């Protein structure tokens, strides 16, 4: 009886939070989300400088890959831990891990150290990304949640653009306060993280799960880890370090499938599965998870490769290309905030991913017509359209799932949706990168003699800056080949968004709950 009274008191307290109190907590959550999202992109533009200082050019890609792998793996594990032991303490632990790892990254003296500490940083980031969304589900009823989740779509959009810009600025600064500029990419996390940690400790009060004997499915976690690592290594190494038909890539692909199947077998038998397969009996959960996966694939066609077009074809610096992405950020911010408020006002959410995927299809079709001399204002308008589309796709899958599952499984369900988007993003980056490189080789053969095409391709592998050293006529033909490759990439990307649209049309809408008690759909 006492437990029931305590739980009821917690529920009342959560329902009585004022807008100012929620925004106070939200500020800590947004800082945490910003830290994790920013560190996915801020390192990219500084990698050449980092590798030069640490004499580790051959291990350059692992600085990003190690973070990607560990953050993806730990996302569903954090969701399960939060459901079992309480989200506040697990969230605080993930912030501490992230901050300690950030300090160690900044202090790294060798490339091996940096790669290891980036992997540790990813372990912390996995908790930041998944638990933030689950905590929103704890403190805000579904009917009001859209109003606040719009902020997080904007945060993710801003981080996608601000990361390359800040990374370039820090890398271009030889020393800041007597420390190499690139080290501040990691040190900047520390004061922000301490602010978030302090706000969480002081103001975030959540209902604790009932004390019971809990068992973590370590075998399931291990199988999931092996499957995800194998899959991500296929996407990172395939077509670059190893040929797609090489035994290394085929072996990793088989490993991903075998361990993935073993993980599913294990989850069916575990008393406390990392991802309960029973969740997939809920059609809203299944549709939302698939929608997040295909959205993640399509999203990276825009976020990764539009700046690449600007840098290669237009000759812009990484910093300038980041600033030129601001129209996309503006579109994402406007769409996230507007859709969130409309969801809160009318209690309807299904229409927004439908509109979002439609706008994304239009935007990608427009970018399949870019040219060497496309006007910057035209590019900006196209980026704004893509931003409007993406801004309506981030929050709805999470909101729909949180509204449809039991509260005891909300952390697990939320983190599974986030995990699905992370895997989709990793695959999207690899898929579109492979398309771009493959089509480039083909188009170079069309405009240049065979021997010249082979020579140019091998020369450019050392860096796009070598374009400037080519004869003017050859350089123009190479740029034309790049433009045609971007055309192909965006056109091939459209079917992925069409699939996302078809999935969005299958999303069943249920009334958004006014409280955080029982879900509408079991």
C-alpha triplet 97, 101, 106: angle, nearest 5°: 155
* Residue 53: Cβ within 10 Å count: 17
**Nearest Cα to 43, choosing from 131, 108, 128, 94?**
108
**Whole-number Å distance between alpha carbons of 130 and 441:** 39
Return the closest-CA partner of residue 12 out of 176, 155, 205: 205
β-pair type (175-176, 179-180): antiparallel
Residue 187, beta-bridge partner list: none
State the DSSP string of 294-352: HHHHHHHHHHHHHHHHHHHTS---HHHHHHTTHHHHHHHHHHHHHHHHHHHHH---THH
**C-beta separation of 389 from 353 below 8 A:** no
Whole-number Å distance between alpha carbons of 349 and 376: 34
HSE, CB side, 13 Å, CA atoms: give it for residue 175: 3
Domain boundaries, the chain: 17-204, 218-271, 279-514
Q: Digits of tens for pLDDT over the chain (522 positions)?
A: 444 444 444 444 444 567 677 778 888 888 888 888 787 777 766 776 777 778 776 666 678 778 888 888 888 888 888 888 888 889 999 999 999 999 999 898 888 899 899 999 989 988 888 888 888 877 887 777 766 766 776 677 677 777 777 777 777 776 666 666 788 888 888 998 898 888 888 877 776 666 555 677 888 888 988 998 898 888 777 776 788 788 989 999 999 999 999 999 998 888 888 888 888 889 999 999 999 999 888 877 677 778 778 877 887 776 777 778 788 888 888 888 888 888 888 888 899 999 999 999 999 999 999 888 888 899 999 999 998 998 888 788 888 888 888 877 888 888 888 888 888 877 887 778 778 877 887 888 887 766 665 655 554 544 455 566 667 777 788 888 888 888 998 998 899 999 999 999 999 988 876 665 554 444
Cα–Cα distance measured from residue 26 to residue 204, given in angstroms and rounded to the nearest whole number: 10
- What architecture is the 279-514 domain classified under in CATH? Up-down Bundle (1.20)
> Nearest CA to 405 among 252, 513, 259?
513
What distances in angstroms separate CA 326 from CA 42, 380, 381, 383, 471, one per listed residue?
Answer: 16, 8, 11, 9, 33
Q: Which two tokens stand for residue 438?
A: 């493959």
Q: Do domains 17-204 and 279-514 have the same CATH topology?
A: yes
Those residues with Cβ within 8 angstroms of residue 466's Cβ, 6 or more apart along the chain or in another chain: 459, 460
72 vs 138, 233, 261, 293, CA distance in Å?
23, 12, 18, 13
pLDDT, residue 454, reads 61
**Alpha-carbon dihedral angle through residues 182, 184, 188, 190, given to the nearest 10 degrees:** 120
| C-alpha–C-alpha distance, residues 324 and 380, integer Å | 8
pTM reported for the whole predicted model: 0.80
Question: Rounded distance, CA 188 to CA 167, Å?
Answer: 11
The CATH number of domain 17-204 is 3.10.20.30: no
């Amino acid at each position: 009886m006492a437990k029931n009274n305590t739980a009821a008191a917690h529920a009342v307290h959560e329902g009585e939070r004022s807008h100012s109190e929620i925004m106070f907590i939200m500020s800590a959550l947004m800082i945490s989300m910003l830290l994790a999202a920013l560190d996915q992109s801020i390192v990219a533009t500084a990698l050449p400088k980092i590798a030069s200082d640490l004499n580790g050019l051959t291990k350059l890609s692992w600085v990003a890959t190690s973070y990607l792998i560990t953050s993806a793996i730990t996302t569903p594990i954090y969701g399960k831990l939060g459901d079992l032991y309480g989200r506040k303490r697990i969230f605080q632990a993930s912030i501490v891990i992230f901050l300690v790892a950030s300090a160690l990254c900044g202090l790294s003296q060798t490339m091996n150290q940096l790669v290891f500490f980036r992997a540790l940083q990813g372990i912390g980031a996995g908790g930041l990304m998944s638990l933030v969304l689950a905590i929103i589900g704890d403190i805000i009823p579904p009917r009001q949640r859209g109003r606040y989740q719009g902020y997080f779509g904007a945060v993710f959009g801003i981080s996608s653009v601000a990361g390359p810009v800040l990374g370039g600025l820090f890398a271009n600064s030889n020393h800041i306060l007597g420390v190499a500029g690139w080290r501040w990419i990691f040190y900047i996390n520390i004061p922000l993280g301490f602010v978030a940690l302090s706000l969480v400790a002081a103001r975030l009060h959540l209902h604790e799960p009932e004390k019971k004997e809990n068992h973590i499915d370590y075998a399931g976690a291990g199988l999931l880890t092996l499957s995800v690592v194998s899959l991500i290594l296929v996407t990172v190494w395939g077509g670059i370090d190893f040929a797609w038909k090489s035994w290394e890539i085929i072996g990793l692909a088989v490993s991903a499938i075998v361990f993935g199947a073993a993980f599913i077998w294990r989850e069916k038998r575990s008393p406390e599965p990392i991802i309960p397969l029973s969740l997939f009996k809920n059609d809203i959960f299944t549709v939302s998870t698939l929608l997040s996966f295909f959205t993640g694939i399509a999203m990276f066609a825009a976020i990764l490769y539009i700046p690449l077009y600007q840098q290669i074809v237009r000759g812009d610096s990484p910093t300038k290309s980041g600033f030129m992405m601001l129209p996309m950020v503006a579109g994402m911010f406007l769409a996230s905030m507007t859709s969130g408020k409309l969801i809160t006002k009318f209690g309807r959410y299904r229409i927004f991913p439908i509109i979002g995927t439609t706008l994304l299809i239009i935007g990608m079709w427009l970018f399949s017509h870019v040219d060497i001399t496309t006007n910057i204002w035209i590019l900006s308008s196209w980026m704004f359209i893509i931003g409007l589309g993406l801004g309506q796709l981030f929050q709805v899958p999470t909101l729909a799932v949180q509204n449809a599952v039991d509260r005891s499984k909300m952390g697990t369900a939320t983190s599974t949706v986030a995990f699905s988007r992370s895997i989709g993003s990793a695959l999207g980056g690899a898929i579109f990168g492979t398309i771009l490189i493959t089509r480039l080789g083909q188009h170079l053969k069309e405009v240049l003699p065979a021997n010249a095409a082979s020579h140019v391709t091998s020369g450019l592998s050392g860096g796009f800056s070598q374009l400037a050293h080519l004869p003017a006529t050859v350089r123009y033909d190479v740029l034309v080949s790049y433009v045609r490759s971007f055309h192909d990439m965006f056109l091939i990307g459209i079917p992925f968004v069409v699939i996302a649209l078809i999935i969005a049309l299958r999303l069943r809408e249920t009334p958004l709950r006014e409280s955080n008690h029982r879900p509408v759909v079991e």
